[in-house]
Amino acid sequence: MRRLVVALVGLAVALGLSAGGAAQETRRARLEVQRGQGAETCATAETVASAIGARVGYEAVDDTSSIQIVVTFAARRRGYGALVSIRGLHDDAILHRELEGASCSDLSEAVALTIAIVLDPLAGTRPPRGDPPRDDPPRDDPAPVAATSEPPASPPIVTTAAPAPARGPLDDRSTATPRRAAQVRWRDRPVFAVRVGLDVAVGPMPGVAPGATLGLELGTDRWVVGIEGLATLTTSETDADGSSVRARLLGAGFLGCFRIRPLLGCAVFKVGAALGEGRGVDQPRSDSSLFAGAGARAQVELSLGSRIALFAFGELLGALTTTVLHLDGSERWRSSPVSFGIGAGARVDIY
């Protein structure tokens, strides 16, 4: 457990959570505890709050605080796991931390210690309130021994039992079996998310092309990679004689982004099929051609909770292919070498 405390304190300092001295104002946080199937016996929010308070020395849970901490307990194939999500320490950033333990009580203690160190990095250097002192009790000076010519008697053999370790507020008192200390993995946990959005683009299709996207992404606090399916509505360009060319786009986009919340900068590659057709002529014809483009996207996000966020973006693409629509043998429309698009949508973390 001592190694666990030292590791957590070091990580808190590395993340810039140090208090800057004894004059640091006390931090408080809103606390929410969720217990998944198989983890119903793990600690409740009240129990975790009590253990945190024992570590930091004050009531650390405040429903009006700007810092929000969500703890999710879950049963695993071997033991239990907990995901600690912390929001509000650094602007709108959400930090995800994973902990694992052989039992619910071990894991709950590690959760309380982790949160206590986030609120007060020095909490890991102090025992919880109520723990017995660890120093050896003072000893009385031995009484002087009178000189004697007889050999000293053999000292009596005294058998003593080691005192039972003190129990914290999160101990499971129903069992006396030895328990392993919880293991902590402190890292940015990649999160899978589903995203859906609406956008408009100028350049790849005739006129202004509205469309929709649906995608998956995997990301941390610093990077995001994703794939999205995209489709535009059919748009057209009409001549004075009433003839027209119509087209729509079906394809996929690939994203690689760097994140500095609430902003993302992304490299984008899109590929798909441009589906075109002619109208208002004696022999209408439809055809398709390859569409490909690459460029950059700038995106801003607004978090609505620990799992939901809204986003808006603008992107600029350079065409890697050219789409040309003909009508009666003559060129009627040609795609632009550069296209621009804007859009908005929502992202939901699923794991």
Of 199, 17, 28, 40, whose CA–CA distance to 95 is shortest? 17
The answer to whether position 145 is within a domain reads no
Would you tell me how many other CB atoms lie within 10 Å of the CB of residue 29? 23
Which residue intervals of the chain are DSSP H helices? 2-14, 45-56, 104-119
Helix, strand, coil: what percent of the chain each, to 5? 15, 45, 40
The pLDDT confidence band at residue 255, using thresholds 50, 70 and 90, is: very high
Percentage of residues in the chain with pLDDT exceeding 90?
Answer: 32
142 CB-near residues (< 8 Å, 6+ apart):
none
CA neighbor of 100 nearest in space, from 86, 81, 118, 114:
81
- Its domain, for residue 205, covers 191-349
Can you give the CATH number for the domain in which 88 is found?
3.40.50
**Residue predicted with more confidence, 345 or 286:** 345
Number of folded domains that form the chain: 2
pLDDT at residue 169 is higher than 50: no
**What is the model's pLDDT at position 305?**
72
Helix (H, G, I), strand (E, B) or coil at 296: strand
Using the predicted structure, report yes or no on whether residue 171 has a pLDDT greater than 70.
no
Q: What is the CATH number of the domain that holds 218?
A: 2.40.160.20
Listed residue (148, 123, 150) closest to 55, CA to CA: 123
Weakest-pLDDT range from 53-67, 168-182, 287-301 = 168-182
User: Which of 34-48, 128-142, 158-172, 255-269 is least confident?
Assistant: 158-172
Q: Are residues 124 and 205 in the same domain?
A: no
Residue 197 pLDDT > 90, yes or no? yes
Q: Does residue 19 sit within a domain?
A: yes
Tell me what pLDDT residue 85 has: 85
Residue 148 forms part of a structural domain: no
Q: Which residue has the higher pLDDT, 14 or 202?
A: 202
pLDDT band at 151, cuts 50/70/90?
Answer: low
Question: Mean pLDDT over residues 240-265, rounded?
Answer: 91
Q: What pTM value is reported for the model? A: 0.53
221, 333: one domain: yes
Both 217 and 69 in one domain: the answer is: no
Has residue 252 been placed in a domain? yes
Structure tokens of 334? 């040609």
